[in-house]
Every structure is written in structure tokens, then in C-alpha cells.
Chains A and B, each alone.
Chain A
């Protein structure tokens, strides 16, 4: 589904942040992306999400060469990827419901056609009673779940989550992890960037460890 071959990335004229990164992300796979702070986890997620271009190497996303993807094709490819940002990136003037429904609205769907789906997903992530609340009054964990619901609403082929448990207590972290596992069972490939070892120990999944700009994979 997504393939990296000898990908390297440097900021400006500085040293390479990522060096010779090669891996495959198969459909329906589940993996943790880990490594010390500043190892380049977020940068690698940005490369996966096509919001950064590599300085060298080949990235193939859904059968397309990243270097040849046009500006018009980018949104269509991104719709197949769900992303959960570390800082949530919710729109504060929109309700929980509208934030989750945003990916559907931008595709031109009428509210009547998705109202039920969004409500069910919000109930599924435990936010059925927070549906019409604005993000500023939500807790960190609730915001995190809204961001996850927004990433999942379109049933993406792959879900990228950047430190999804970074702002929550261990019980909620376990709850969120179960949510990701459930999504994975339904067929979505999952990449969770985290440095939370406790979280990783709870699932027997592939581990991608970034260190000194290199990636080691433990299947």
C-alpha cells in the first residue's frame, strides 16, 4: 500500500534527519513507530501523509510515485489516509459533530446523508453525549477521541496517529488502543507513532524503531 525505498530527508543544508529508510506498509497491518524524542517520528508520518517531500529515495503511495503526484491528485490520495495529529487540530468554532463530519462535508456530502454515521461513530468513541459541544470545553482525552473519530469517519485504508496517547492517562490510553485495534480488525492499516513502551507492550505488533535517522523493523 505504501512503500519507502532508500528515502532520505534533510532540512535545508543540515545533516540528514532520516537516512536510507526502506519499508512496506501492507494493507490491514498494525505497527508502532517508536524512537527517542526528536528521532524523526513526526517527520516520517509527514512523509507518509505526503505533506513533506523526501530529498532522496522513492515513496510509492497506493501505487503512485510520490514525486509524480500532482497537486490535484493529492487531496484524493489523502482521503484514503486518516491522520490524528499530536495537537488534535480541531476547529474550535465547530461542534464535536461538525469536526468529525468535516471530511465528509469537504467531499460535498449533505448532512442528512451522514448524520447517522457520525452520531454512531461518536457513540462508539464514547462521545455520544458530547456531540454538540465545542472543542474548548472538551478535555484532552475527549479532544483526542474527536480527532480519532474525524480520522476514521471516512473508513480510511490507513490510519496514522501521532502520539495518540500522549495527553491521556493510562486507562484512557488503553481504551484508545482498543479503538485502534478494532479499526484494524475492520481492515484499516494502523501506524501509531509513540514512545510509550507500556502501550507497545499491550499489542503484539510490528515495531518500527527510529534511531539516529535510521529505521529498524522488528516483526
Chain B
């Protein structure tokens, strides 16, 4: 008989008195830790994809809103045209249309600033045939009749043209929709890969638990009891990994958001902001991350439950087939 040193017994005794009964499923194992890691990585990637799709969707919506909210009247200088009068006339004609919420004449200083990169800082408006602009703000829910505006402008100011940005808006809408569709497809693939990875990793982690199920079964545990033990254990395992992955994803978004705010005034930062907005995923993004975390934990628990039920069914229906 092996003699166990008394101090080992005492150590175990003191542990018992602190913790109560040992858990039926061992709390930590190499496969269990690997499962937590796999779940954390897949949750992180899924949440990043979800956040990226949310950001693309929101940014695309902002592009559409901002661009289609404005139209521009461009007046080219021609012989005999009093530009200031023409600008005022154009603004007053347009203001009379319903759906127009405001007009703003881009003055000479502002025009000079716009052209400064190409023409330098000392622009002489008398010497150069520089067109002038009137910015028209429109009500998106009740847009004006742009054709009627063009028809009204043409006889009064022949050199005026109205650009309602329709071509730009149509192209942007098409591009934004394509990007959102691609993003949603990538998200669907990512979530499918995550589910499959979690399912197979959970089944792998459970493959070493067959002897526990056997013993529980032979000491008279009901299927429900065994399934609950495993479901609870793997729900905790899944939750650990999923929460870690979710927190890492949220931290990444916060870090990008912080970087974006720190670089707001720089050319790089402005370019990034123009393309991606302010790198914030918003409430819907964070809700989505929480949903992914919960869903992955539940999938892990569900997989373990189904695996246990299948194993028990196999034991109970076992026929003498050589086993």
C-alpha cells in the first residue's frame, strides 16, 4: 500500500473545508484552456467584423445624407454679366421654391480659399474668369423640383448651372450598398466559421470527458443531471472566452476612436475621418458585440449539451456489437 504523507492529506482537507465539494467536471484542463483561447480569438474576430460592418453602414448613411442635402448653383462669368447681381438673383429665385431650406453665396474670400491650392494666394477676380457658387440647402424629406429651378434660372442667368449631386449620390449609394452587402457577407462567413470552430473545439474538449459521463451514468445520474453539469461548465468556459474576445474587440474600437480623436486636425486624421467617420461603432455596434458574446457562450453550452445527450443515447442503446 502506498503511504501518503499526512501533510498531503491535511492540504487536501484544508482545501475541502474552504471550497466545499469538488466540481463534478474538472475546472481546468489543457483542452479547456485551448477552448477558451479559441473562443476568445473567434469572438474577437467576429466582433471586429461586426464593428467594421456597423461603421461602414453608418458612414455610408452619413455620406448619403450630407451630399444629398445640398445642391450647388455655379455661375460662370460672361460678357455683360454683373456677378454680384447674378448671385443675388440666383439665390432669390431658388429661395422661392418649396423644399429649399436655405441659400448661401460663397463670397470672394471663400472662393479664393477654395482655389488657393491651384491658383495661389493672390487671386484677382477681375482678371480671371472664375465661376462663383451658391450653396442651396434642401429638405431631404421634401426635395425641390430641380428641373423647375433650372428652367427658372436659364432665362435670368444663362451661364448658371445647377448641380444637384444626383450622379454623385447615386454612385455613392450604390457603392455604400455594395460595401454593406460585402460586409454583411463577410460577417455571415465569420459567424459561421466561429460557430463551427466553437462546436468542434467544444467537442474536442469533451472527448476526454467520456469517462466522467460513464461514471455518472453508472452511479445512477439521470441524463438531465449529467447534461446540466456539462452545460453549466461549458457555458462558463464559453463565457470566459467570449467575454475576453468581446472586451478585446471593444478595447480595439476605443483605441481606434482615441487615435482618431488625437489625429483629428492632421491631414491623415481628416482623411481617415472623411472615409470612416469617427471610428465609433455606436450603441448598435456595442449591442452587436454583446449579442455575439452571449451567442457564442450559449452555442458552447448547447454543443456540450447535445454531445452529452448523444453520448448517453449511445450508451443506453448500446447493443452487443463487439464493444
* A173 cross-chain contacts in B, Cβ below 8 A: none
Contact pick for A93, options B13, B26, B218, B321, CB 8 Å: B26
In the complex, B9 has a CB within 8 A of chain A? yes
In the complex, A163 has a CB within 8 A of chain B? no
Please, what's the 1-or-0 string for A120-152, where 1 marks a CB less than 8 Å from any CB in chain B? 000000000111111001110110000000100
Q: B1 and A139: CB pair below 8 A?
A: yes
**Distance between B242 CB and nearest chain A CB, rounded to angstroms:** 25
* B211 cross-chain contacts in A, Cβ below 8 A: 89, 91
* A129 cross-chain contacts in B, Cβ below 8 A: 6, 9
In the complex, A27 has a CB within 8 A of chain B? no
Docked pose: A146 CA to B320 CA in angstroms: 29
> A89-B214, A130-B9, A139-B2 known; A150 and B21 CB under 8 Å?
no
Q: A11 and B316: CB pair below 8 A?
A: no
* B217 cross-chain contacts in A, Cβ below 8 A: 75
> A106-B221, A131-B13, A141-B1 known; A91 and B215 CB under 8 Å?
yes
- With both beta carbons as reference points, the residue of chain B lying nearest to A78 in the complex is identified as B220
* B16 cross-chain contacts in A, Cβ below 8 A: 95, 97, 132
* A139 cross-chain contacts in B, Cβ below 8 A: 1-2
Docked pose: A215 CA to B84 CA in angstroms: 119
Interface residues of A in 21-69 (CB under 8 A from B): 43, 49, 51-55
**Distance between B232 CB and nearest chain A CB, rounded to angstroms:** 14
Q: A95 and B2: CB pair below 8 A?
A: no
Interface size class of A (residues with CB under 8 A): 35 or more
Q: B218 and A51: CB pair below 8 A?
A: yes
In the complex, A203 has a CB within 8 A of chain B? no
Interface residues of A in 1-33 (CB under 8 A from B): 9-12, 14, 17
In the complex, A209 has a CB within 8 A of chain B? no
Q: A132 and B219: CB pair below 8 A?
A: no
Docked pose: A98 CA to B219 CA in angstroms: 13
- With both beta carbons as reference points, the residue of chain B lying nearest to A43 in the complex is identified as B320
* B26 cross-chain contacts in A, Cβ below 8 A: 93
> A11-B320, A89-B214, A134-B12 known; A101 and B220 CB under 8 Å?
no
> A93-B26, A106-B216, A139-B1 known; A12 and B12 CB under 8 Å?
no
Docked pose: A10 CA to B320 CA in angstroms: 6
In the complex, B188 has a CB within 8 A of chain A? no
* B313 cross-chain contacts in A, Cβ below 8 A: 71
Interface residues of B in 253-300 (CB under 8 A from A): none
Q: A107 and B218: CB pair below 8 A?
A: no
In the complex, B62 has a CB within 8 A of chain A? no
- With both beta carbons as reference points, the residue of chain B lying nearest to A52 in the complex is identified as B320
In the complex, A185 has a CB within 8 A of chain B? no
In the complex, A74 has a CB within 8 A of chain B? yes
Interface residues of B in 1-57 (CB under 8 A from A): 1-2, 4, 6, 8-9, 12-13, 15-16, 20-24, 26
Contact pick for A75, options B9, B21, B215, B220, CB 8 Å: B220
In the complex, A105 has a CB within 8 A of chain B? yes
Q: B12 and A55: CB pair below 8 A?
A: no
In the complex, B200 has a CB within 8 A of chain A? no
Q: B321 and A11: CB pair below 8 A?
A: yes
> A51-B315, A53-B319, A150-B219 known; A106 and B8 CB under 8 Å?
no
Q: B220 and A12: CB pair below 8 A?
A: no
* A174 cross-chain contacts in B, Cβ below 8 A: none
Docked pose: A51 CA to B16 CA in angstroms: 34
* B155 cross-chain contacts in A, Cβ below 8 A: none
Residues of B within 8 A of A (CB): 1-2, 4, 6, 8-9, 12-13, 15-16, 20-24, 26, 211-212, 214-223, 225, 313, 315-316, 318-323
17 contacts across the A-B interface (CB closer than 8 A): A11-B323, A17-B320, A43-B320, A52-B319, A55-B320, A89-B211, A89-B214, A91-B24, A91-B212, A93-B22, A95-B16, A102-B24, A106-B221, A129-B9, A138-B2, A138-B4, A154-B220
Q: Please name 8 further chain A to chain B contacts, defined as beta carbons within 8 Å, in addition to the given A17-B320, A91-B212, A150-B219, sorted by A numbering.
A: A75-B222, A91-B215, A102-B216, A103-B220, A105-B21, A131-B13, A138-B4, A154-B220
